[in-house]
Amino acid sequence: MTTRSERLLQLALALLVVLIVLAPLALMVATSLKGDEGRILLDIGSLAAFWVSPGEASLTNYVQVLSSATQPFLRFLFNSVFVVGWIVGVGIFVNSAAAFALSRMRFRGRNLILAVVVALIIIPMEALAIPLLLMVNRVGWLDSYQAQIVPFIAHPFSIFLFYQFFAKLPKDIDEAAYVEGASPFQVYWKIALPLSGPVIATVAILQSLEYWNAYLWPLMVTRGPEVRPVSLALAQFFGTPPPTWGDLMAFSVMMSLPILILYLAFQRWFIQSVVASAVK
Amino acid sequence: MSRPRSRLHDQSRPALALMAPAGVLIVVFIIAPFLLSLVLSFTNQRLVPNPNLPTASVGVANYVRLLGSGEFWQAFRNTFTFALLTVPLQSALALGAAMLVNSRLPARNVFRGIFFLPTVLTMVVVVVIWSNLYQINGFFNAVVRTMTFGAHPGFDWLANPYLAMPSIVLVSMWQGFGFQMVIYLAGLQSINPELYEAARVDGATRWQEFWAVTMPGLRNTHIFVLVTTTILALKLFAQVDLLTKGGPLGSTQTVVRLIYETGFRKGQVGMAAALSVIFFLVVLAISVGQRVFLKEDREVA
Amino acid sequence: MASLSIERLKKSYGAVEIIKGVDLSIADGEFVVFVGPSGCGKSTLLRMIAGLEEITSGELKIDGAVVNDLAPKERGIAMVFQSYALYPHKTVYDNMAFGLQIAGTDKAEIDAKVRNAARILKMEHLLDRRPNQLSGGQRQRVAIGRAIVRNPKVFLFDEPLSNLDAALRVTMRAELAKLHRDLAATMIYVTHDQVEAMTLADTIVVLEGGNVRQAGSPLELYHLPRNLFVAGFIGSPKMNMLPATVSAVAPAGLTVSAPWLAPTVIPVNPGGVAVGATVTVGIRPEHIQAGEGAVSVTGTVGLVERLGHQTIVEIAVSGGGLTALIDGETMTSPGETLTVGFHPKDAHVFDAAGEALTRLVVPEIAKVRKQRPAA
């Protein structure tokens, strides 16, 4: 059994890690709420940087970011949501349909196709970026939503996750449906897909995080603010010296809020998704 | 008396229809670019075609030039340095955090939730926050000054060729350790608790218990964490591009950033393709290594 | 309602033959049970009838039409699976309605059929539940209900009771028998449980190694097993089978003797068996009584299992062992010497190939079929 001193040590260590994790976030929030940039620069090298007294807190920075004509924050946010929404939304159907065929149907060459899909998982996007850029360039997709969406809908790893899930469903269920007159499409649509809630959640979370965080690809294929995702917009804002910390932090807080709210609401699912991605 | 193959059990047509959307997209956007990068790596293809210089085959010239270029080796060295620093440190931190969360800590789900939180933050946001801490007049230098009673003025963390990479390692660890922690946690929970009880009955100390039960029980988890973290580390790009632009003096230039600069900034697609091929082969070797290790383990078990 | 005919049906996976040429004809409204040990091919045969397994060769006819190449849905069958195979995300109502919805049946008709099936199975109050809110027996009912609403020509059951506990099995067995009476539909039922087979079937088909070893009414199989396999498979405890030598052959029967058995005339048609041949004598444990009988055997008591109303005794006799199912009140214990007796007319004789010699004295009961209420 754990001794008292051991438990105190564990608690102390855990609190230390909490401090390390939360302090930078406190810095972000505190700085974003300090309306006076001079005050921020004054606080920057001290513990005061991590704190804002409630009396001094102001939303000036947020108002500035939201009202900026050159940095249309809401447009950027919409772009990111739009791109991720399409990738994930369409991807769920496209990837699960392929996985259904690979796991539940009989046809020649099935194992070969499955092996190819699994092999494709290890190709990193970074190794494909340049030829893909050339292709997208040729078809005139630069600076478009489709350049950010279409190439990423089919996702071998998502297919694999769906495959694993479908392969574990009892075979009797499909057979019962076939006996009742269902076609393969109906079995996929009315039986398999409605049962795959847990994988859909896993795939949606993993793909959302992946493309919400995308940096390299949007950096190459977006030019203006019309289709630029929010993370890249922050990166370019950050890359324009001198840094206006209040605005940067307000921007950061606002773009992190949607994800943080989702995370707090579905924490268990987020963590289970990561675990599911590791069980290969 | 073989009868014609029954149409009953051959589901090729519906299967093909269900696989078609994913199949077309995969062929066009994964397999084609993959083959294209192989082909392009033997040409002098440029991003914006120059009418006076049509694309031509250059044989293995791109590879030869890469292998002879200091920039190339530096990028690989930096990337591997990053991996060599990040992988053990981050894994150890993650394992420690996982063990804390797996213990009888009060409110351990809250701790787990907090530890995992940075992984859902976008790297750009993380970089913005940490670059504030790394400012010359920032918090870290304030700590350095306090610890040395003002004797040391502090560092220009990101402009110092010796400190830039470790600074990037720190940012990456902070952002990423929650991922490995969750995987270690799953690994720890799959260890049979009776093994711990048996060790305790045998009089093992905590330390002995860790080495005799925990570490062997995590063998597959270690391999998985090691390989995925290494591959993630090899893909290092955003932090570097945002914090140091590969500098100072190329001390934080990475392979992916070199691909990006060569292919996108300089428009040398052929060269960038050759780099991509080499990068892919390295990732492939590591993945295959993982398979071999896992397989060996299964044979032993 | 339909009749079924199976001709030289074969199924092989590569070089391995699973079903080795089965001939069978099933009358309209008949309740047929396939029994046999695991791996005998009974489930495969059922799945071939369902259309879930391809037929390698031979013909399967439903109502005279060859259906080999028809999809399951085109065969007019319904199937109840061992695992019930209910759709976990659908309510009981939707589970039963699914097949009809697929077929594009009109809503009101679906509703009427589902409610009718629910009424037959007494589960009107469960229609809004999901499978995980049901007990095993209730799930079983839903699976049956799903079959009923489709009004199939043939019902197929694949070990439907094997996931239920013993008490529930007895109840469901009775309900299935009643369902068959009420619907008067053709039903084919696979089980490894001979009690289910005996109680439910009009015809039992005993399979072994992909071959039909015998098909007949339950009591026919019990009293007139055609070979050693069927003799051993039907009946519990198992029929005793001991070697004996033929010492005389006459039209009235075969005289056999063995170390444990004084020369005895068993009333069977000798067929081609000659004097001096070795045969197997079979006698069911329940046909052996304690004490002297028409034929008496003495031996040493081994295991004694007291069931209360009866006692199972294993007796070591010279040349083998006998199991006897004697009354529950005989005082006997291991190590004692016990004399038991049986009547030669109850004995069976099998030739060297394991085929039964025709019994000359057939109990009247062996001709009884399942009783149906007068129409």
Residue C146: pLDDT band (50, 70, 90) is very high
The span from the CA of A157 to the CA of B59, in Å, is 34
Residue B12 and residue A107: Cβ atoms within 8 Å? Answer: yes
C70 touches chain A (CB under 8 A): no
Q: Residues 159 to 178 of A: which have CB under 8 A from any C CB?
A: 170, 172-173, 175-178
Please give the DSSP secondary-structure letter assigned to residue C275.
Answer: T
- Tell whether the model's pLDDT for residue A266 goes beyond 60: yes
Residue B41 lies in a domain: no
Percent of chain B residues past pLDDT 90, beyond the cut: 38
Take residue B113 and report the two structure tokens written for it.
């939730």
- Torsion angle, alpha carbons of B197, B199, B204, B209, to 10: -90
Residues C237-295 have pLDDT tens digits of 999 999 999 999 988 889 999 998 889 999 999 888 889 999 999 999 999 999 888 99
CATH of the domain at B153: 1.10.3720.10
Residue C105 lies in a domain: yes
Sign of CA dihedral B58, B60, B64, B67: positive
Q: Residues 27 to 56 of C: which have CB under 8 A from any A CB?
A: 50-52
Task: Give the total number of structural domains in chain B.
Answer: 1
User: Which residues does chain C have within 8 Å of residue B7's beta carbon, measured at their own beta carbons?
Assistant: 69
pLDDT confidence of residue A146: 92
Residue of A107, A166, A180 to mutate, interface with C, max C Cβ within 10 Å = A180
Which of C70, C73, C44, C72 minimizes the C-alpha distance to C59? Answer: C70
Residue B8 and residue C57: Cβ atoms within 8 Å? Answer: no
- What mean pLDDT do residues B58-66 have? 86
Measured at the CA of A120, the angle between CA A119 and CA A122, to 5 degrees, comes to 80
SS3 B254: coil
- Tell whether the model's pLDDT for residue B298 goes beyond 60: no
Residue C317 lies in a domain: yes
- What mean pLDDT do residues A110-118 have? 92
A242: preceding bond cis by omega (within 30 degrees): yes
C249 touches chain B (CB under 8 A): no
Which of C230, C266, C268, C184 minimizes the C-alpha distance to C354? Answer: C230
Ramachandran angles phi, psi of C327, nearest 5°: -60, 165
Percent of chain B residues past pLDDT 70, beyond the cut: 95
Does C251 lie in the same domain as C167?
no
Does C248 lie in the same domain as C206?
no
Does C17 lie in the same domain as C53?
yes
B298 touches chain C (CB under 8 A): no
* Cβ proximity of B226 and B218 under 8 Å: no
B9 touches chain C (CB under 8 A): yes
* Residue C64: C-alpha distances to residues B187, C2, C27, C75 (Å): 60, 9, 11, 12
Residues C184-210 have pLDDT tens digits of 889 999 999 989 999 999 999 999 999
Q: Which chains have 3 or more CB–CB distances shorter than 8 Å to chain B?
A: A, C
Task: Give the total number of structural domains in chain C.
Answer: 2
Q: Which of A170, A179, A190 sits opposite C79 (nearest CB)?
A: A179
Measured at the CA of A10, the angle between CA A9 and CA A11, to 5 degrees, comes to 90
Residue B243 lies in a domain: yes
Residues C72-89 have pLDDT tens digits of 888 889 999 998 899 999
A193 touches chain C (CB under 8 A): no
Residues A12-21 have pLDDT tens digits of 999 999 999 9
pLDDT confidence of residue B1: 35
Question: What's the domain range around B293?
Answer: 69-300
Q: Which chains have 3 or more CB–CB distances shorter than 8 Å to chain A?
A: B, C
What per-residue string of b and e applies to A153-182 under the rule 16 or more CB within 10 Å gives b? bbbbbbbbbbbebbeebeebbbbbbbbbbb
Please give the DSSP secondary-structure letter assigned to residue B57.
Answer: B
pLDDT confidence of residue C373: 52
Residues B110-121 have pLDDT tens digits of 999 999 999 999
Does C283 lie in the same domain as C187?
no
C68 touches chain B (CB under 8 A): yes
Residues B17-32 have pLDDT tens digits of 999 999 999 999 999 9
Does C129 lie in the same domain as C46?
yes
Q: Where are the alpha helices (DSSP H) in chain C?
A: 42-50, 92-102, 107-120, 136-149, 166-183, 194-200, 218-223, 228-233
Residue B24 lies in a domain: no
Residue B14 lies in a domain: no
Q: Which of B40, B120, B237 sits opposite A215 (nearest CB)?
A: B237
Mean pLDDT, all residues of chain A: 89
Please give the DSSP secondary-structure letter assigned to residue B31.
Answer: I
Residue C57 and residue B9: Cβ atoms within 8 Å? Answer: no
Measured at the CA of B14, the angle between CA B10 and CA B20, to 5 degrees, comes to 125
Does C176 lie in the same domain as C78?
yes
pLDDT confidence of residue B300: 44
pLDDT confidence of residue A217: 93
Residues B232-256 have pLDDT tens digits of 899 999 889 998 887 788 888 999 9
- Torsion angle, alpha carbons of C214, C217, C220, C226, to 10: 0
Residue B135 and residue A270: Cβ atoms within 8 Å? Answer: no
* Residue A235: C-alpha distances to residues B8, B64, B127, B175, B241 (Å): 57, 35, 9, 17, 10
Single pTM value for the model:
0.86
pLDDT confidence of residue B70: 87
- Tell whether the model's pLDDT for residue B273 goes beyond 60: yes
- Residue spans per domain, chain A: 4-58, 73-278
pLDDT confidence of residue C241: 94
Residue B29 lies in a domain: no
Can you list the positions of beta strands (E) in C240-294? 240-250, 253-258, 261-266, 278-283, 289-290
A154 vs C184 pLDDT, higher one: A154
Residue B9 and residue C54: Cβ atoms within 8 Å? Answer: yes
pLDDT confidence of residue B57: 81
Q: Which of C85, C88, C99 sits opposite A175 (nearest CB)?
A: C85
Nearest CA in chain C to A195: C89
Helix (H) or strand (E) holding B222: helix B219-234
Residue B251 lies in a domain: yes
Residue B226 lies in a domain: yes
Model ipTM value:
0.89
Count CB atoms within 10 A of the CB of residue C165.
Answer: 10
User: Which residues does chain B have within 8 Å of residue C9's beta carbon, measured at their own beta carbons?
Assistant: none
Name the domain boundary from C201, C231, C261: C231
The alpha carbon of residue B125 is apart from the nearest alpha carbon of chain A, in Å, by 5
* Cβ proximity of A256 and A270 under 8 Å: no
Residue type, A3: T
The span from the CA of C224 to the CA of A245, in Å, is 97
User: Which residues does chain B have within 8 Å of residue C12's beta carbon, measured at their own beta carbons?
Assistant: none
B73 touches chain A (CB under 8 A): no
Take residue A197 and report the two structure tokens written for it.
């809630």
Residue of C52, C95, C149, C153 to mutate, interface with A, max A Cβ within 10 Å = C52
Mean pLDDT, all residues of chain B: 86
Residue C98 and residue A178: Cβ atoms within 8 Å? Answer: no
Residue C73 and residue A180: Cβ atoms within 8 Å? Answer: yes
Nearest CA in chain B to C51: B8
The span from the CA of B49 to the CA of B33, in Å, is 18
Residue B273 and residue A130: Cβ atoms within 8 Å? Answer: yes
Residue A44: pLDDT band (50, 70, 90) is confident
Q: Which of C51, C57, C70 sits opposite B3 (nearest CB)?
A: C57
The span from the CA of C198 to the CA of C204, in Å, is 8
SS3 C304: strand
Q: How far apart are the first and last CA of chain A?
A: 34
Residue of B1, B2, B6 to mutate, interface with C, max C Cβ within 10 Å = B6
Count CB atoms within 10 A of the CB of residue A19.
Answer: 10
- Tell whether the model's pLDDT for residue A259 goes beyond 80: yes
Residue B35 lies in a domain: no
Residues B144-185 have pLDDT tens digits of 888 888 777 778 888 888 888 999 999 999 998 999 999 999
The span from the CA of A100 to the CA of A188, in Å, is 7
- Tell whether the model's pLDDT for residue A80 goes beyond 80: yes
The span from the CA of B40 to the CA of B259, in Å, is 13
The alpha carbon of residue C58 is apart from the nearest alpha carbon of chain B, in Å, by 10
Does C170 lie in the same domain as C59?
yes
pLDDT confidence of residue B18: 93
Task: Please count the residue pairs, one from chain B and one from chain C, whose beta carbons lie less than 8 angstroms apart.
Answer: 14
User: Which residues does chain A have within 8 Å of residue C99's beta carbon, measured at their own beta carbons?
Assistant: 180-182
Q: Which of A46, A123, A263 sits opposite B120 (nearest CB)?
A: A263
Residues C297-353 have pLDDT tens digits of 999 999 999 998 999 999 999 888 899 999 888 888 899 999 999 999 999 999 999
Residue C98 lies in a domain: yes
Name the domain boundary from C231, C254, C277: C231
Question: What's the domain range around C277?
Answer: 237-362
Residues C5-40 have pLDDT tens digits of 999 999 998 888 999 999 999 999 999 999 999 889
Quick one: C372 exposed, middle or buried, by C-beta within 10 A (0-12, 13-18, 19+)? exposed
CATH assignment of A73-278? 1.10.3720.10
- Torsion angle, alpha carbons of C298, C302, C306, C312, to 10: -50
- Tell whether the model's pLDDT for residue B299 goes beyond 60: no
Residue bearing tokens 């005989």: C330
